[in-house]
Chain A
Amino acid sequence: MKALVAEDDPDIQLILRMVLTRIGKCEVVVSDRGDEVLMQAKSSNPDFILLDVMLPEMSGYDICKALKADPATNAIPIIFLTARAMPSEVKEAMNMGALGYLAKPFDPMTLVTQINQLLGPAGCSIGG
């Protein structure tokens, strides 16, 4: 399984990389700029995307809209992982076709389980 992590904070990038590789047994591709995520989504062909909302150059919401509008990427499950967890923002993300919304801070020991709960209906799982 391959995960594309769109996150601009280097500390959180490191934690997600460790959690997803060590516990989730995933290959991880990291992107820290909004415009890069769109290119990475096409070139690296990830099985799912963990997407922050506040990214340089392009917001997570705009990235989600663009990915869902492109036939080459619209089937990739998108999970928002963000510190912006106001109820209206959660609703906005879900309306854009995101698979789910996980709030920061997260528990690294249960993150893989949470991701699997969201990915389950899409027919895939990590860590196992």
Chain B
Amino acid sequence: MEEISAKSFEQVLQSTLRMIRTSWKIPACLFVQMDDTQLLRIRASDGLPTTIPAAFGFKPGAGIISQCLEKNQVLESGKIPWDEGFEAVLKPLETPQVKKFIIVPVAGQSRTLGVLVLGPVENSRNYLDREAELRGAGNLCAVLSAYWRLYEWMNNFLPQINHELRTPLTAIQGSLGMVLGGVFGNVGTEVKAMLEMAHKGCERTVLAIEAYINEKAPEKKS
């Protein structure tokens, strides 16, 4: 099986952010998510004037993004400070009249997965009465991000499981093959039958691994 590309999910998530941004008529839209190292990172963005360094990430603390995650509440920027380094990312977008950002929790089944940051919007406009729509946009990103993470995990898991299964099978099949091949002399008929059974079992296991790695079901043998 050719490795599944996670790139397509990244592109879909980015185009979804663009769709949200243009339909809400706002300059920028960012999806921030906790990674495996427990750092909050910008997973995808649209409308930012500068490229975010890949290494940019921050530990959850007392900032507004962390608060949104913890409380699972839609928040507006202004009163609560930004998380570490985040203000610098958004500052170039602000003007004195247009500097408010909306932070929307992206809910998973049992926990908050990340946040959607939308803005800047006019300071006088109220977005909190459109909470259901905002959460809907966030949930769309959550689904796409979950698929993206799943495919990334699969791309790491499949080669690893392939290796972990093949290595011990090499030792089993190799040693049985040499005994059955007569490298160490002849074996009795009954012992040979038993060893052949074990050898065939190895071969079937290898075929099954290859079939699943190649996304083909093993042929049903009658």
Interface residues of A (CB under 8 A from B): 9, 11-12, 15, 18-19, 22-23, 54, 83-89, 103-109
Known: A87-B2, A107-B177. A15 touches B171 (CB 8 A): yes
Identify A11's interface contact among B162, B171, B178, CB under 8 A.
B171
Complex CA distance for A19 and B65, rounded to whole angstroms: 61
Interface range on chain B: under 10, 10 to 19, 20 to 34, or 35 or more?
A: 20 to 34
- A84, B171: Cβ atoms closer than 8 Å: no
- B159, A86: Cβ atoms closer than 8 Å: yes
Known: A86-B162, A105-B202. A12 touches B174 (CB 8 A): yes
Chain B residues within 8 Å of A23, by CB: 183
Main secondary structure of the interface of B (DSSP, over half): helix
B175, CB-defined interface residue at 8 Å: yes
- B183, A22: Cβ atoms closer than 8 Å: yes
Given contacts A84-B159, A84-B162, A86-B158, could you give 9 more A-B pairs where the C-beta distance is less than 8 Å? A11-B171, A11-B175, A12-B167, A12-B174, A18-B178, A89-B159, A104-B167, A105-B172, A105-B174
- B163, A84: Cβ atoms closer than 8 Å: yes
CB distance from A126 to the nearest CB of B (A): 15
Identify A105's interface contact among B1, B173, B178, CB under 8 A.
B173
B195, CB-defined interface residue at 8 Å: no
Which residue of chain A has its CB nearest to the CB of B183?
A22
Complex CA distance for A20 and B37, rounded to whole angstroms: 45
Complex CA distance for A75 and B72, rounded to whole angstroms: 63
CB distance from A14 to the nearest CB of B (A): 8
Complex CA distance for A14 and B206, rounded to whole angstroms: 21
Which residue of chain B has its CB nearest to the CB of A8?
B167
